[in-house]
Amino acid sequence: MLVCIVYDSGHGHTQKQAEAVAEGVRRAAGAEAQLIAVADGNIPWDRLAESDAIVFGSPTYNGTVSARLKKFMEDSTHPTWVRQTWRNKIAAGFTNSGAQHGDKLNSLITLALFAAQHGMVWVGLDLFPGNSPEEPNRIGGWLGAMAQSDDVSTEISPIASDLETAAYLGLRVAETVARLQPVAA
Ligand SMILES: Cc1cc2nc3c(=O)[nH]c(=O)nc-3n(C[C@H](O)[C@H](O)[C@H](O)COP(=O)(O)O)c2cc1C
């Protein structure tokens, strides 16, 4: 099983979240995770087409996804949308912003709508909101994994509970793929 994580990160904080998603995917038996940074420029469209699931992630910039992530979305039209190569794949999303709220729900809505336009099947979180900063889903979102980063070193931000929320989403995506795989006759 292959889960690709397509993400952007201007200053490394959302990259930490992406790496946590990948770590969560690998907690599932037999699951492979591949990180794809859109800033690298060369998008491996064939690899994405052969994946079982794609998790999209972006920092929240100006209340939505970053320009680089939006470019990836638009660039997907010809290699992917026209041919419907992601149809029926599992999709999920994550975002990180400077403020606790920061309007980041709009980024997740943008990612979910993008996945829907590709005919993908969106997986959200099934976590109750954490009651303390140490608990997963402390920000209390369900559409995807949220993180908040202070403008400090990526060694300490995002905090452990936000990274665990991201890892949980990765594991949930892999487990959902496994549940949907056809049973051999
Ligand atoms: C151009 C720009 C716009 C931003 N807009 C928002 C915003 O709308 N809401 C917010 O809470 N933080 C905003 N921030 C802060 C970033 O979301 C925050 O610094 C985040 O950790 C950046 O992640 P990165 O290190 O992966 O780029 C913005 C930062 C930049 C550079």
> Looking at the whole model, is its pTM more than 0.95?
yes
Please report whether residue 19 resides in a domain.
yes
Please report whether residue 167 resides in a domain.
yes
Domains in the chain, number: 1
Please report whether residue 76 resides in a domain.
yes
Q: Which residues line ligand 1 (CB under 6 A)?
A: 9-14, 59-63, 96-99, 102-103, 149, 151
pLDDT digits (tens, 9 = 90+) for 68-91: 999 999 999 999 999 999 999 999
Residue of 58, 68, 97 to mutate, ligand 1, most atoms within 8 A of C-beta: 97
Taking each helix axis from N to C end, the angle separating 13-26 and 160-180, rounded to the nearest 10 degrees, works out to 40
Question: Residue 168's domain spans which residues?
Answer: 2-180
Residue 179: pLDDT over 90? yes
How many Å apart are CA 10 and CA 33, to the nearest integer?
22
ipTM over 0.90: yes
pLDDT band, very low/low/confident/very high, at 185 (cuts 50, 70, 90)? low
Please report whether residue 154 resides in a domain.
yes
Distance 61 CA to ligand 1 centre (A): 5
Distance 42 CA to ligand 1 centre (A): 24
Please report whether residue 22 resides in a domain.
yes
Please report whether residue 185 resides in a domain.
no
State residue 152's pLDDT score: 87
Mean pLDDT of 125-137: 96
Q: What is the CATH number of the domain that holds 157?
A: 3.40.50.360
Closest atom of ligand 1 to CA, residue 16: 26
Please report whether residue 43 resides in a domain.
yes
pLDDT band, very low/low/confident/very high, at 182 (cuts 50, 70, 90)? confident
